[in-house]
Amino acid sequence: MPREFPRARRIEEQLLRLLPELIRREIRDPRVGPLTITAVEVARDLSHARVYVTPFAGAGDAVAIVAALRSAAGFLRHAVRNQMGLKVAPELDFRVDESIEQGARLTALIDEAVAGDRRRTAAADPAEE
């Protein structure tokens, strides 16, 4: 059974709360629009943190937003270190969270399959109508 790493989990939770505020307040890059940080995964040794982001609907290009955040990663890491009182903050790796789009595609596929089943059932039993 894998060992729990409560410190890493605590840092994930703190980053999930702190990073959106830092980005909103401190980052002036025009490529960074309104966004949501959907998840943070901190390595066991606390050296790296993957930060998954998604822009608000119609708020900008996700790839451009991630590129801007990656260019500001050093600044954000320093700010995180100061705000959280850490000796060394994890290296921040920003990534586009594609799970929302994947979920929407799966929902559309399921809806399409259900509609197809209903059409086939209706065509097979025209006497019941």
CA distance 79 to 21: 11
Q: 2 or 79: which carries more pLDDT confidence?
A: 79
End-to-end CA distance of the chain: 57
90-116 burial: b if 16+ Cβ within 10 Å, else e: bebbbebbeeeeeeeeeeeeeeeeeee
The string of pLDDT tens digits covering residues 52-107 is 999 887 667 888 999 999 999 999 999 999 999 999 999 999 999 887 777 777 88
What architecture (CATH level 2) is domain 6-97? 2-Layer Sandwich (3.30)
Residue 1, pLDDT > 60, answer no
Residues 6+ apart with CB under 8 A from 67: 31
The string of pLDDT tens digits covering residues 31-47 is 888 899 999 999 999 99
Q: 109 or 26: which carries more pLDDT confidence?
A: 26
pTM of the model: 0.75
Residue 121, pLDDT > 90, answer no
